[in-house]
A and B are shown apart, each in its own frame.
Chain A
Amino acid sequence: MIKGIVKTIEFLFRRKRFAADLDEEMSFHRELVEKALIAKGMTAEEARFVATREFGNAARLKEQSHEAVGFGFESVLQDLRFALRQLHKNPSFAATAVLILALGMGASVAIFAFVDAALIKPLPYPNPTRLMDVTESLALFPRGNLSYADYLDWKRMNSSFSSLDVYDGTGFGLQTPSGMEPVHGERVSAGFFRTLGVRPMLGRDFRDEEDVVGAAPVVLLSYGAWQRRFGGRNDIVGQSVNLSGVAHTIIGVLPKDFQFAFRGNGEFWEALQPTRECEKRRSCHDLYGVGRLKDGVTPQMALANMKDIAHQLEVQYPDSNRGQGASVMPLSAAIVGDIKPILLVLLCGACLLLMISCVNVSSLLLVRSESRRREFAVRGALGASRARLARQFATEGSGLALAGCLLGLGLAGVGIQFLLRLISKDMMVGMPFLDGLGLNLHVMLFAGGLAILAALLASATPIIQLRNSTLRDGLTEGARGAAGTLWRRVGANLVVIELATAMVLLAGAGLLGKSLYQLLHERLGFNPHHLAMVSIGLPDVAFSSDEKIVAFQRDVIQRASQLPGVESAAITNQLPVSCNCDTDWVRFVGKPYNGVHNEVNEREVSAGLLSTLGVRLKSGRFFTDADNATSPKVIVINEAFASKYFPGEDPIGKKVGDTELTPKSLREIVGVVEDFKDAGLDEGQWPAEYEPFNQVSDSYFNLIVRTQQDPATILPALIAVVHEVSPNAGVDDPATMDQWISDSNAAYLHRTAAYLTGGFAVLALVLGVVGLYGVIAYSVSQRTREIGVRMALGAQKSAVYKLVLGEAGRLIAIGVVVGLVGSVGAAMLMGKLLFGVQAWDAGTLAGVAVVLGASAMLASYFPARRAASVNPTEALRAE
């Protein structure tokens, strides 16, 4: 048996050789026959004639010998030709089936390409699974920042990491021909690149002694910066570059394919010297850690180890470290944690769509094989074996699947480009793994797998049917009833699956759409329209003192508010609708303190912010320009702050300080404003304190103006104003508040999820309804005679409608009920992607059920009308 298979395979590969052997053998035979005949006294010519006749048809003989060995390769080609002829003869069927398959394939392959790039492909470092994201954690921030002092202790005390390094983003002012340009820089500890396993392509890496205070400033260039700003010159190593007024020596260039998702746009990577004010205090957290696990250490062991160390530090430094835990997770999880749920939801959606497509094509094939019963019966009667007929189906099914797959790949290619374009530039920076996304090997393999599945399904459906029916029946003209019943049963089940799947997708899209609506209509607490903004960075060297910064800000605000159409201008160091971040720990004078960290958002703003944003004051006063460096320190708090820390009290006049209540830190609450959205759209409202810029300045901040005209038109003028005040100031990120909100991470993620799932759902709805139409229409065509008889016996049109629509209604009802159960299940899995809406949101589910039911009933109405308009005499005569 096995030998036979081996021989057969051997034959397939050595077909030519086999044919040549057989030819030679047979002509030798013929020669000997001729010789024998000549010996008997025939002439040579006679002998040849007789021998050839005796031998019979040489070609037929060869074929018989082939069939004895191989499985008839030639007949496969024959099948293929026949299949193509069949499909050509019925182009609309072929086109429909191929298009439906291609849609399902295209959607799932495109989404898979993203899933592959984000979740399957390893990070581009050696042994990437050993790299861990290491940070401190708090109840409010599971993945917080790391303070420099804690980092040094962690590095010294841990037994889990062969190396542990830190990084943080920064900005530099770079002098370019067009003026001072703010550029993205990164600060990393000296071993950072060695931990990742990345070596500079040019020059050298940081040395261990280069990340301590006082070492000569050195910088590595990203490949992009080297190409763009330094023309890719090889002699760049060793040269000096002026970053924010400080000369840095360029020591090397990072490889072209280097990426670090958290800091995707970094152009200048400097050795992190702990010079920032924050890095001198253990209680100030501004860094992130990345570590490489020692051999044999699991992430869980490392986490336990770091938690243990964090606990020791908590005991040792109760003031600064109370509640500071540790977080250790694979670097890849930290990078793609945000987009993982959305990708998985989309992949599920795409796969459901693919399923519907396959089911739809299956039912198309079923209908078709019904109408080809006679053809197959005739072929069977003429001697074709069942296996041979089955092979014909398999060839046709595979042909369809292949064509669908190829077209689907094309669609996927287009879809990938389309989806990439949907991602904003800012988000792309955080997802360097999506660069160069396309139809790579992984994606091709996935598509190939889908194609095989589709081919199996497309071939199996009619073959199963072939098995279930007797060929002889097909020859008898009137015997349609029985076959039709079979199809109605199988086809009806398929349609229920389709409708239920469409229901799940529709419900998913509905819930995500409602989430998006809720998110975009989240109470902002301010008027986001007619606001224009730019971000400004002041180089430390030119703006060395707070007075200079404050003077600059005053000038900028004044000039900006004089621009035509500008109603008011203001400054804040954090834009609204960004994040619960940039926090402060506060303690209250005259209130008991138990060492708990009272974490509040801290924003440094100018006096005009309230009027510019349109936020209402609840009590007390807002800042004026008179609150400055010489006057007593004041803050304004939001309602959330007041109700959390001063329940039932008037907070005005109360004093707030740092955790030790150092006299310098004390400031008085002078006003309470209504809550407005500091945090991201999907984050909750936190207590916030607003401090006057005049008293606490920052060299990075945003200018916001309220305009009468379209705010986008004023952006160039805003940039010009900043440069007029100081050519040294860097200006970036011009945007309107509406743009800012709609491009924000939360809005983007929810919008993508809602739109794509919505797209899938619409396709699913169309396919499902078309599938139902097919089943009902076929059923009606099969029952024309029956309907004719009924009408001849006196059935009214309404009874016929009832008959057909009743059948459809039953299928729709089952589909919707099954779909409802599936929808709630699917929605529970979506979890975090739902915002302000429950998985069992009755309104959405009911709405979706109505839409699906109504479109499905409409689709069934047309065949019902045809059935009702049957002319009984004609129907009876037709058979």
Chain B
Amino acid sequence: MATKPDLLPGTLDMLILKTLTRAPLHGYGIALSIKRLSDDVLTVEEGSLYPALQRLLLAGWVKAEWKMTETRRRARYYTLTAAGRKQLGIELTEYEQMISAIGRVLRSAEA
């Protein structure tokens, strides 16, 4: 099996928050969504996903409630809160600053 690239450290929370901006999702839905949107490049390990979700819940950035799925199964759906949206903004800004900084360094190294 080909090795998949690891997630950049600290980006999982941001990715989860981002996927929740469009609609509430359950844990599997979040994992699937990240996988699809990244064209199967990013795989979220379940082992990281659930602890991360608990962290976000604790910080008050997401809310969780039990709802029925289309297939009439009970599932826990996560919804972005206002605080979560704000946090996402902060993390995106920080991320972009970081990426562009890394980019600048790399380009200068090439030159």
Instruction: Give residues in A with beta carbon < 8 Å to B.
Output: 3-4, 7-8, 21-22, 24-26, 28-29, 32-33, 54-56, 60-61, 64-65, 67-69
Contacting pair A64 B59 (CB below 8 A)? no
Given A25-B76, A29-B27, A61-B46, 13 additional A-B pairs, CB 8 A: A3-B58, A28-B27, A28-B28, A28-B73, A28-B74, A32-B28, A33-B28, A55-B46, A56-B45, A56-B46, A64-B50, A65-B54, A68-B54
Residues of B within 8 A of A33 (CB): 28
Contacting pair B46 A7 (CB below 8 A)? no
| Minimal beta-carbon separation of A25 from chain B (angstroms) | 5
Known: A29-B28, A33-B28, A61-B47. A7 touches B74 (CB 8 A): no
Interface residue ranges of B33-47 to A (CB < 8 Å): 45-47
Contacting pair B50 A25 (CB below 8 A)? yes
Residues of A within 8 A of B47 (CB): 55-56, 60-61, 64
Interface residue ranges of B44-73 to A (CB < 8 Å): 45-47, 50-52, 54-55, 57-60, 73
Flag whether B14 is at the interface (Cβ < 8 A).
no
What DSSP secondary structure best describes chain A's contact surface? helix
Name the one of B46, B51, B55, B59 contacting A29, with C-beta atoms under 8 angstroms. Answer: B46
Q: Which residue of A lies closest to B75 (CB)?
A: A28
Residues of A within 8 A of B18 (CB): none
Name the interface size band of chain B: 20 to 34
| Minimal beta-carbon separation of B10 from chain A (angstroms) | 15
Flag whether B85 is at the interface (Cβ < 8 A).
no
A95 to B86, CA, bound (A): 58
Contacting pair A54 B75 (CB below 8 A)? no
Residues of B within 8 A of A60 (CB): 47
A8 to B46, CA, bound (A): 23
Contacting pair B46 A68 (CB below 8 A)? no
A68 to B27, CA, bound (A): 16
Cross-chain pairs A/B with CB under 8 angstroms, 27 sampled: A3-B60, A4-B58, A4-B59, A7-B57, A26-B46, A28-B74, A28-B75, A28-B76, A29-B27, A29-B28, A29-B31, A29-B46, A32-B28, A33-B28, A54-B46, A60-B47, A61-B47, A61-B50, A61-B51, A65-B50, A65-B54, A67-B51, A68-B51, A68-B52, A68-B54, A69-B57, A69-B58
A60 to B50, CA, bound (A): 12
Contacting pair B46 A24 (CB below 8 A)? no
A26 to B50, CA, bound (A): 8
Residues of A within 8 A of B74 (CB): 24, 28
A210 to B17, CA, bound (A): 89
Known: A56-B47, A61-B50. A7 touches B28 (CB 8 A): no
| Minimal beta-carbon separation of B26 from chain A (angstroms) | 7
Contacting pair B27 A25 (CB below 8 A)? yes
A25 to B78, CA, bound (A): 12
Name the one of A3, A7, A8, A64 contacting B51, with C-beta atoms under 8 angstroms. Answer: A64
Q: Which residue of B lies closest to A51 (CB)?
A: B46
Contacting pair A28 B58 (CB below 8 A)? no
Contacting pair A69 B54 (CB below 8 A)? yes
Residues of A within 8 A of B55 (CB): 68
Residues of B within 8 A of A32 (CB): 28
Contacting pair B76 A21 (CB below 8 A)? yes
| Minimal beta-carbon separation of B63 from chain A (angstroms) | 12
Name the one of A4, A7, A22, A54 contacting B50, with C-beta atoms under 8 angstroms. Answer: A22
A32 to B28, CA, bound (A): 7
A61 to B46, CA, bound (A): 8
A69 to B55, CA, bound (A): 7
Residues of A within 8 A of B54 (CB): 65, 68-69
The 5 closest A-B pairs by CB, nearest first: A68-B54, A32-B28, A64-B51, A56-B47, A29-B28
Contacting pair A28 B26 (CB below 8 A)? yes
Q: Which residue of A lies closest to B76 (CB)?
A: A25
A26 to B46, CA, bound (A): 9
Q: Which residue of B lies closest to A33 (CB)?
A: B28
Residues of B within 8 A of A21 (CB): 76
**Residue from A3, A33, A61 having most chain B Cβ neighbours under 10 A:** A61
A61 to B58, CA, bound (A): 17
| Minimal beta-carbon separation of B44 from chain A (angstroms) | 11
A22 to B74, CA, bound (A): 13
A33 to B49, CA, bound (A): 14
A8 to B73, CA, bound (A): 29
A28 to B27, CA, bound (A): 9
